[in-house]
C-alpha cells in the first residue's frame, strides 16, 4: 500500500527536467554575471570620470585663485606708496575690482584691521575694524589668505581674499582684501556652475573646514558637509573617488580633488540610480537577443535528455517487474547504447547481493559504539522501541565512572579509552544474555534489562559495582569505582523518557552520597 502511494516520477522526465533546469540556471547565471560586470564597469567608469572632472576643475579653480592672488600681490606691493592719499588708495582698489573677475568689493586696512579705504568708494565702511573671520587667518597674516564663508557687513554671504603689505622696515602694515559674494551668479559661480552634467550629476566646492562655498542648490552654500566621506578625504588633502550617501540619503558616485590653495576641494558626483539606468535597457536587449538561441538549446536538451534516459528507464522497469532480480534475458534487451548504461545493465544482478551485505554492515555500524563494541544511543533507541512495542517491562541501569576526569588528566585520553573498554567487558560479564549494554557518551553507560524486577536489577547493578571496584585497570591506573542508578518501566513512570531521567536522578543521588554506590529510584524517592 505504501509503495502504491509513492509518486511515480519517471526517470526520463526527471533527467529532462534536471537538464532543462541546468540550462535555465546557466542561462540566468550568464545574464546575471553580465549584469554584474556591466554594473561594476559603469560604476568604475563613472567614478573615474567624476575624479578626472574634479581634478580638472580643481586645476582651473586653482588658476582662478592664483590670478586673484597675483592681482592682490601687485596691489599690496603698490600700497605703501599710496597710503598718504585716500583717493589714490580708492583708485587702486577700483582698478583691482575691474581686473579681478567675480570680486564685489575691495578694501585696505592698517595693521590693526581698521579699514582705510574701499572700492566702490563711499560704502561707509572706513574706520571700521575687520574681525578675524574677515581677515581669513588672524589680524596679522604674513601671506595671502582665503577666509571661510561669512556674512558681511551688507548682509551677503562672502568669501574674502587677503594679501598683507609691509612698511619700509618690512613689518606688517596692513592688508588688501577682496570680497567675493556667494549665491550671486558671479564669475566664480559660472566657473564651477556652467559645467555640471545634464544627467543628474552636479558638483560642489568646499573650503578647508568642510563648509560649502559653491553648490547648485544655493541654499546649501554656507552649510557644513563634514559628515560626507568624500569631504573628509578632501580635508585630509586626498584626491580620488568613492561611493557616498549624501545628506538626502541618496547613493552617489563621487570624484573629489583637493585644491592647492585655501584647503579647498571639489566634489563631482552622479546619482547611482542614474548611472545604472542604462542597465535596464541593456539587460532587456541581451535577453531579447539570447532568447531564440536559448529556446533552441532548451529543445535540444529536452530531446537529448529523453534519449539518454531511455535505457535507464527500461532497466528500472525490468528490475521493478522482476523483483527481487531481473532475468539475464530481459536485461540483455536493454539497449545500452552508451558506456555507462551498458555497465549499469551488466552490474545490476551482482550488485544486489553486494548491496545487501553492505546495508547489513552499515546497520550494524550505525548502532554500535566503535571503541567499546557496545550499542550506541541509536541502538538503545531501537531496543527501547522494541520493548515498548511488545509492552514488555524493563529496568534501566544508569552508570557513570567516578572521578574519570582524573584518569584522563593524569594518564591521558588514550589510557582513559582503555579503562572504558575494560568497563565494557565488566558490563558484559555482569549482566544476562538478553540484557543490552550501551555507551551513551564519554564515561556514561546504560544497561537495558528486559523483564527484570527491581530486585534483579539492583543485584545486577551491585554485581557490576563490586566487579568494577575490585578490577585493576590497565596502565597503572589502579582501581576505580562506578556509581549506578536504577529505575523501572512502567513501574516508576509510564513515560520512558521520565524513566531514563529517574535513573539519572538515582545515579546523581549515588554520586552525592559518596560514589561507589547503587541507588534505586523507588528507594531514593522515599528517603529525605
Name the residues annotated as catalytic: 443
Cell of 355: 548491496
109/117 Cα distance (integer angstroms) = 7
271/223 Cα distance (integer angstroms) = 21
90/108 Cα distance (integer angstroms) = 9
394-401 vs 265-271, strand pairing mode:
unpaired
DSSP letter string, 56-94: HHHHHHHHHHHHHHHHHHHHHHHGGGGTT-HHHHHHHHH
Cβ within 8 Å of residue 508, ≥6 positions away: 485
Q: Which helix (H) or strand (E) holds 281?
A: helix 272-321
Instruction: Tell me the chain's radius of gyration from C-alpha atoms.
Output: 47
3-state SS assignment for residue 29: helix
Q: Which of 229, 232, 231, 233 is nearest to 243 (CA)?
A: 229
395/434 Cα distance (integer angstroms) = 12
Q: Which of 415, 405, 403 is nearest to 477 (CA)?
A: 415
**CB contact burial 329-348 (16+ within 10 A = b; e otherwise):** eebeebebeeeebeebbeeb
- DSSP annotation of 474: T
251-258 vs 265-271, strand pairing mode:
antiparallel
Count of other CB atoms within 10 angstroms of residue 181 = 19
Beta-bridged to residue 397, according to DSSP, are 447, 486
Amino acid at each position: 500500500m505504501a509503495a502504491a502511494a509513492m509518486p511515480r516520477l519517471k526517470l526520463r522526465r526527471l533527467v529532462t527536467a534536471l537538464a532543462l533546469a541546468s540550462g535555465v540556471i546557466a542561462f540566468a547565471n550568464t545574464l546575471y554575471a553580465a549584469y554584474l560586470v556591466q554594473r561594476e564597469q559603469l560604476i568604475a567608469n563613472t567614478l573615474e570620470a567624476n575624479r578626472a572632472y574634479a581634478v580638472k576643475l580643481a586645476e582651473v579653480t586653482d588658476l582662478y585663485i592664483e590670478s586673484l592672488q597675483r592681482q592682490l600681490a601687485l596691489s599690496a606691493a603698490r600700497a605703501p606708496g599710496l597710503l598718504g592719499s585716500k583717493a589714490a588708495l580708492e583708485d587702486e582698489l577700483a582698478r583691482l575690482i575691474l581686473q579681478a573677475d567675480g570680486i564685489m568689493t575691495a578694501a585696505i586696512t592698517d595693521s590693526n584691521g581698521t579699514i582705510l579705504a574701499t572700492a566702490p568708494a563711499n560704502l561707509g565702511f572706513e574706520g571700521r575694524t575687520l574681525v578675524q573671520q574677515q581677515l581669513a587667518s588672524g589680524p596679522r597674516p604674513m601671506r595671502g589668505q582665503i577666509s571661510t564663508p561669512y556674512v558681511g557687513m551688507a548682509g551677503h554671504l562672502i568669501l574674502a581674499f587677503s594679501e598683507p603689505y609691509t612698511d619700509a622696515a618690512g613689518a606688517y602694515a596692513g592688508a588688501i582684501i577682496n570680497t567675493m559674494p556667494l549665491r550671486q551668479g558671479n564669475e566664480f559661480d559660472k566657473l564651477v556652475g556652467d559645467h555640471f552634467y545634464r544627467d543628474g550629476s552636479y558638483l560642489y566646492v568646499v573650503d578647508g573646514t568642510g563648509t560649502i562655498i559653491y553648490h547648485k542648490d544655493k541654499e546649501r552654500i554656507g552649510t557644513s558637509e563634514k559628515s560626507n566621506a568624500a569631504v573628509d578625504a578632501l580635508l585630509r588633502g586626498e584626491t580620488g573617488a568613492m561611493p557616498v550617501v549624501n545628506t538626502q540619503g541618496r547613493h552617489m558616485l563621487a570624484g573629489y580633488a583637493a585644491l592647492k590653495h585655501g584647503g579647498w576641494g571639489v566634489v563631482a558626483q552622479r546619482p547611482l540610480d542614474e548611472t545604472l539606468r542604462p542597465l535596464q535597457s541593456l539587460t532587456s536587449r541581451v535577453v531579447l537577443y539570447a532568447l531564440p538561441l536559448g529556446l533552441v538549446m532548451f529543445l535540444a536538451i529536452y530531446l537529448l535528455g529523453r534519449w539518454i534516459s531511455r535505457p535507464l528507464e527500461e532497466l528500472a522497469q525490468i528490475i521493478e517487474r522482476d523483483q527481487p532480480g531481473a532475468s539475464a534475458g530481459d536485461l540483455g534487451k536493454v539497449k545500452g547504447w552508451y558506456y555507462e548504461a551498458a555497465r549499469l545493465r551488466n552490474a545490476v544482478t551482482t550488485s544486489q547481493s553486494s548491496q545487501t551485505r553492505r546495508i547489513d554492515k552499515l546497520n550494524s555500524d550505525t548502532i554500535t559504539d566503535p571503541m567499546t563494541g557496545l550499542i550506541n544511543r541509536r541502538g538503545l533507541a531501537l531496543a527501547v522501541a522494541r520493548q515498548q512495542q511488545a509492552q514488555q517491562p524493563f529496568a534501566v541501569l544508569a552508570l557513570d565512572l567516578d572521578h574519570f576526569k582524573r584518569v584522563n588528566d593524569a594518564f591521558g585520553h588514550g589510557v582513559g579509552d582503555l579503562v572504558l573498554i575494560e568497563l565494557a567487558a565488566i558490563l558484559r560479564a555482569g549482566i544476562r544474555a538478553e540484557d543490552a549494554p550501551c555507551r551513551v557518551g564519554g564515561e556514561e553507560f546504560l544497561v537495558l534489562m528486559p523483564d527484570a524486577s527491581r530486585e534483579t536489577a539492583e543485584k545486577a547493578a551491585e554485581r557490576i559495582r563490586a566487579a568494577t571496584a575490585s578490577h585493576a585497570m590497565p596502565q597503572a591506573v589502579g582501581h576505580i569505582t562506578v556509581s549506578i542508578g536504577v529505575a523501572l518501566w512502567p513501574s516508576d513512570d509510564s513515560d520512558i523518557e521520565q524513566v531514563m531521567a529517574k535513573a539519572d536522578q538515582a545515579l546523581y543521588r549515588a554520586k552525592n552520597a559518596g560514589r561507589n554506590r547503587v541507588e534505586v529510584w523507588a528507594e531514593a524517592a522515599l528517603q529525605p
